Amino acid sequence: MTNIFEDTRLRPELRAGLAKIGFKKATKVQSAVIPVMLDHQSVIVQAATGSGKTHAYLLPLLNDIDPADQCVQAIVTAPSRELADQLYQVARQLRDASGLAISIAHLAGGSDRDRQIAKFAQNKPQLIVATPGRLLDFADKKILVLDRVKNFVIDEADMTLDMGFLSDVDKVAARLPKDVVMSAFSATIPVKLANFLRKYMAKPQEIVIDNPAVIAPTIKNDLLDIGSKDRKKIVYQLLTMGQPYLALVFANTKQKVDELAAYLSEKGLRVAKIHGGITERERKRTLREVRNGQFQYLVASDLAARGIDIDGVSLVINYEIPKDLEFMIHRIGRTGRNGLPGHAVTLIREEEMDRVAGLEKMGVHFDFVEIKGGELTARSHYRRRDNRKSAKTRTVNAQTKGIVAKAKRKKKPGYKKKIKRAIQEDNRQQRKLEQRHEMRHQKRLRKRKREQGR
Ligand code: AMP
What is the tens place of the pLDDT at every residue in 60-105? 999 999 999 999 999 999 998 888 998 999 999 999 999 999 999 9
What is the value of pTM for the model shown?
0.57
Class level of CATH domain 4-209: alpha beta
C-alpha 52 to ligand 1 mean position (Å): 4
Task: Report how far residue 101's alpha carbon sits from residue 263's, in angstroms, rounded to the nearest whole number.
Answer: 63
C-alpha 71 to ligand 1 mean position (Å): 28
Long-range contacts for 269-272 (Cβ within 8 Å, ≥24 apart)? 269/236, 269/239, 269/240, 269/296, 269/297, 270/294, 270/295, 270/296, 270/297, 271/295, 271/297, 271/298, 271/299, 272/297, 272/298, 272/299
Ligand 1 probe mutation, 1, 5, 10, 23, most atoms within 8 A of CB: 23
C-alpha 339 to ligand 1 mean position (Å): 28
Q: Are 260 and 232 in contact (CB under 8 A)?
A: yes
CA angle 371, 357, 204 (to 5 degrees): 135
Per-residue pLDDT reduced to its tens digit, 340-361: 789 999 999 988 888 888 888 7
Q: Give the contacts of 212 (CB within 8 A, at least 6 positions apart).
A: 48, 50, 51, 363, 400, 404
Class level of CATH domain 219-386: alpha beta
pLDDT at 333: 83
Task: Report how far residue 325's alpha carbon sits from residue 120's, in angstroms, rounded to the nearest whole number.
Answer: 39
Q: Coil, strand, or helix at residue 65?
A: coil
Pick the range with the lowest mean pLDDT from 20-24, 60-64, 131-135, 377-381.
Answer: 377-381
* DSSP codes of every residue in 109-175: TTS-HHHHHHHHHHH--SEEEE-HHHHHHHHHTTSS--TT--EEEESSHHHHHHTT-HHHHHHHHTT
C-alpha 51 to ligand 1 mean position (Å): 7
Ligand 1, residue 429: give the atom nearest the CA: 4
Domains 4-209 and 219-386 share a fold: yes
Nearest CA to ligand 1 atom 20: 23
Nearest CA to ligand 1 atom 10: 425
C-alpha 31 to ligand 1 mean position (Å): 13
C-alpha 168 to ligand 1 mean position (Å): 29
Nearest CA to ligand 1 atom 8: 52
Nearest CA to ligand 1 atom 6: 50
Ligand 1 probe mutation, 55, 58, 156, most atoms within 8 A of CB: 55
C-alpha 146 to ligand 1 mean position (Å): 30
Strands (E) in 330-389, as ranges, are: 342-348, 367-372, 375-378
Bridge partner list, 345 = 222, 317
Percentage of residues in the chain with pLDDT exceeding 70? 84
- Top-ranked range on mean pLDDT: pick from 69-73, 243-247, 375-379, 422-426: 69-73
C-alpha 40 to ligand 1 mean position (Å): 23
**Cα Rg of the chain, angstroms:** 25
Classify the phi-psi angles of 142: left when phi > 0, otherwise alpha if psi is within -120 to 50, otherwise beta: left
Q: Are 187 and 29 in contact (CB under 8 A)?
A: no
Bridge partner list, 205 = 43
pLDDT at 153: 98
Task: Report how far residue 226's alpha carbon sits from residue 177's, in angstroms, rounded to the nearest whole number.
Answer: 56
Q: Coil, strand, or helix at residue 451?
A: helix
Classify the phi-psi angles of 441: left when phi > 0, otherwise alpha if psi is within -120 to 50, otherwise beta: alpha
Ligand 1, residue 47: give the atom nearest the CA: 2
pLDDT at 87: 94
Q: Are 149 and 125 in contact (CB under 8 A)?
A: no
Nearest CA to ligand 1 atom 4: 50
Q: CB-side exposure of 55: number of CA atoms within 13 Å?
A: 25
Mean pLDDT throughout 258-281?
93
Task: Report how far residue 337's alpha carbon sits from residue 325's, in angstroms, rounded to the nearest whole number.
Answer: 20
Q: Are 303 and 254 in contact (CB under 8 A)?
A: no
Nearest CA to ligand 1 atom 15: 52
pLDDT at 394: 32
Ordered strands of the 367-372 beta sheet: 271-274, 297-300, 247-250, 315-318, 342-348, 219-225, 367-372, 375-378
Is pLDDT above 70 for 115? yes
Nearest CA to ligand 1 atom 5: 52
Q: Are 222 and 364 in contact (CB under 8 A)?
A: no
Closest CA to 57 of 100, 13, 91: 91
Closest CA to 48 of 320, 359, 290: 359
Q: Give the contacts of 340 (CB within 8 A, at least 6 positions apart).
A: 218, 312
Closest CA to 265 of 292, 219, 232: 232
Question: What is the 8-class DSSP label of residue 68?
Answer: T
Q: Which residues surround ligand 1 with Cβ inside 6 Å? A: 23, 25-27, 30, 49-55, 425
Ligand 1 probe mutation, 7, 14, 20, 27, most atoms within 8 A of CB: 27
C-alpha 25 to ligand 1 mean position (Å): 10
Nearest CA to ligand 1 atom 12: 52
Q: Between 394 and 136, whose confidence is greater? A: 136
Q: What residue ranges do the domains of the chain occupy? A: 4-209, 219-386, 391-452
C-alpha 278 to ligand 1 mean position (Å): 36
Ligand 1 probe mutation, 20, 53, 54, 418, most atoms within 8 A of CB: 54
Is pLDDT above 60 for 389? no
Q: Coil, strand, or helix at residue 363?
A: coil
